[in-house]
Chain A
Amino acid sequence: MAKDKGKGWSPGLAGLLSPVTFWLGLFFLAPLLLIVAYSFGTAGVYGGMKLGFNTNNYAQIADPLYLKILFRTLVIAVLTTLLCLVLGYPLAYFIAFRSRKWRNNLILLVMIPFWSSLIIRVYAWVVILSGNGIANHALQFLGITNGPVNLIFTPKAVLMGMVYSYLPFMVLPLYASLESFDVSLKEASQDLGANRWHTFWRVTFPLSMPGVIAGSILVFIPAAGEFVVPQLLGGAKTTMMGNLIQQQFLDARNWAFGSALSMILAVVLLVAIIFYVRRVGTDKLEVG
């Protein structure tokens, strides 16, 4: 009976869901529709907006300059996701298999960066990486370099800043899926002749796939839309889609093109995520 109830709609359920429906409708769906409408509009001479059906905004993206930025954005976002996974997995694994007391304290350490603003933390990296910064001093002190080297305003600096910023978003879902992992499954695997390596790749890793997928999406999407890190650590050479959209809205006052860029980015990300989940996900998500 309870099962039947869960499947159907009832006035009570609709009532419970109405606040969130209202909220999402007002603050998610409405702005999204606005952006869709703007993306077909035309920018006025003084920055105003004329609605209409103007596909030029989309055609403009075919410009190699913009395609290059889109491509760079995707490469940086994918690399950020991969690096976060490679760095975050061992960390999440290590924490998840500690005793309860250790686990809670360690995961708290992972979350500590959230206590200060992202901009402040990225500025800290500017201080560290700049020509006269701590990193260069350390390199010279250790005798690795003779003079200051250019660390900041490179794609590598952006990547590093992104991995730094998004690592917790990878670690937390991975931790959540590993923490609930039944240790007796590892023992069963070893009991059946699989050494640690095989046990990890045949049992532990496949069973942590929900965490891998959730973490990848949580890192990839905001990384692809990131504009603070490339702005502060990338300089002019490492412009990403986020910077481009920001410039169109705030500097160029071309809301129509900015909206079109936003739509393109959203569609590309959606396609990428669907492809990813189809490819890695579906059969492995079906665990419970």
Chain B
Amino acid sequence: MREERTKERPLASPGNERRAVVELAGITKRFGDFTAVEDLNLNIYEGEFFSLLGPSGCGKTTTLRMIAGFEEPTEGTITIAGQTVQGMPPYHRPVNTVFQSYAVFPHLNVFDNVAFGLRRAGVKGEELRRRVTEACDMVQLSGLEKRKPAKLSGGQQQRVALARALVNRPKVLLLDEPLGALDRKLREGMQIELKNLQETVGITFIYVTHDQEEALTMSDRIAVMNEGRVQQVADPATLYELPRSRFVADFIGLMNMLSGTVESVSGRQVTLRAAGGKRVEAIIHEDAGMRPGAEVHVAVRPEKMRFGDEGDNVYAARVRQVIYMGVSTQYMVELEGGEKMMLYQQNASGVAGYRAGDRISVAWDAANSLVLES
């Protein structure tokens, strides 16, 4: 059942053939000796909310800048809307960018900021006024058209940057950590708003972020990057439930890791021997070949574990630390072999809590423990 749910979701417009609007083929970018992006291959489809997710320095912003035209790839080709854009300056590319620093023009008021791109494109008079007003309405800036950016809050400047880009109706909107500078509450509101906006205008969004929660909330698909390479491209649920590598498993959410040796393989079912002789029942990716004797890791999400002795994997453990977090309580438990694991328990009514030092047993199902190669 879980496999059903985690299959790639169809896009918002069913029936339509998925057309790649941005194609990155064999992209490598070097700055001197430093390789920022290595052999990147990605297709981003029309109408998609696509995120590039990774820690700082993983090459996600460089990738975005190459699509925008601020950097040229050292190797490989970029195609936007069927056209190779090699050597094409940013002002000829059918994309617009929302910059991390907003880069709102301080000498122009809101109206002139939003009208900047349209005026370059030769839009004038009534149409110019109408489209700027529409764009301002869309991001809730109505009535602020005459204000200078210095008189706007961070969130409002953010909206100006957004309206200024969207008003040109680009084929692709590039967003470089646009919510990074906003406080948490405002950021969460803007995430939903951005997602709604994207669904309304139907423009492809390519969104760069280091915040995995943000990427999971908004994206249709996410490319997780590390050290210039794409680790995995998948929809949020697949990324969370079926990470391909230890890096992805660690980067997205919290993950418990056990190491062990493969004892037997039967289809996707694997039995492992972990430290202290514990037997662990787990599953592997459909296409992963695994031989007995291989040294592997088993990944289990904290919320998939429970107290008690019902499950494929049951172990005696001792509670080491209890952190009350409101909705749930986070327990740090230590298995008999000395492995420390994290476990979440919902603070629903009638759920008994534990205290540090309690002897308990923890359990989880084989289907929730994914084998990852070391």
Binding site for B on A (CB under 8 A): 182, 184-185, 187-195, 198, 202-203, 206-207, 209, 284, 286-288
Contacts and interface: CB of A to CB of B under 8 A. Distances in A.
17 contacts: A182-B101, A182-B103, A187-B70, A188-B97, A188-B99, A188-B104, A190-B89, A192-B116, A192-B117, A192-B165, A192-B168, A194-B91, A202-B116, A286-B148, A287-B150, A288-B106, A288-B150
B166 to A, nearest CB: 11
A192 B116 CA distance: 7
Contact of B107 (A193, A198, A207): A207
Interface of B: 68-70, 89-91, 95-97, 99, 101, 103-107, 116-117, 120-121, 148, 150, 164-165, 168
A201 to B, nearest CB: 12
A207 B90 CA distance: 21
A195 B103 contact: no
B89 A195 contact: yes
A191 B90 CA distance: 5
Contacts of B116: 189, 192, 194, 202
A189 B95 CA distance: 13
Contacts of A195: 89, 91
Given A185-B105, A203-B105, A287-B107, A192 B96 contact: yes
Given A207-B107, A284-B107, A288-B106, A191 B101 contact: no
A193 B103 contact: no
Nearest to A194: B120
B225 to A, nearest CB: 22
Nearest to A283: B107
Nearest to B93: A191
A192 B68 CA distance: 11
Contacts of B165: 191-192
Contacts of B97: 187-188, 191
A209 B107 CA distance: 10
Contacts of B96: 191-192
Contact of A193 (B105, B121, B148): B121
B35 to A, nearest CB: 21
Contacts of A185: 103, 105-106
B259 to A, nearest CB: 45
B99 A193 contact: no
A182 B91 CA distance: 18
Given A193-B168, A195-B89, 6 more contacts: A184-B103, A190-B89, A192-B165, A195-B91, A198-B120, A203-B107
A52 B147 CA distance: 55
Which of B70, B120, B164 is the most central at the interface, judged by chain A CB atoms within 10 Å of its CB?
Answer: B120
A188 B68 CA distance: 10
Contacts of A209: 107
A234 to B, nearest CB: 40
Nearest to A199: B91
Given A187-B70, A191-B68, A191-B90, A206 B107 contact: yes
Most central of A187, A195, A206, A209 by chain B CB within 10 Å: A187
A21 B283 CA distance: 82
A96 to B, nearest CB: 17
Contact of B99 (A184, A198, A284, A288): A184
A129 to B, nearest CB: 42
Contact of A188 (B69, B105, B107, B168): B105
B320 to A, nearest CB: 47
Contacts of B69: 190-191
A251 to B, nearest CB: 50
A188 B91 contact: no
A202 B117 CA distance: 12
B101 A193 contact: no
B150 A193 contact: no
A187 B105 contact: no
A190 B103 contact: no
Contacts of B70: 187, 190
B162 to A, nearest CB: 12
A170 to B, nearest CB: 21
Contacts of A182: 101, 103
Contacts of A287: 106-107, 150
B164 to A, nearest CB: 7
Given A203-B105, A288-B106, A193 B89 contact: no
A191 B106 contact: no
Residue from B68, B107, B120, B164 having most chain A Cβ neighbours under 10 A? B107
A266 B91 CA distance: 48
Contact of B164 (A187, A190, A192, A203): A192
Contacts of B164: 188, 192
Nearest to B99: A184
A219 to B, nearest CB: 23
Nearest to B164: A192
Nearest to A203: B105
A195 B93 CA distance: 12
Nearest to A195: B91
Given A189-B116, A191-B96, A194-B116, A207 B101 contact: no
A111 B120 CA distance: 40
Nearest to B117: A192
Contacts of B105: 185, 188-189, 203, 207
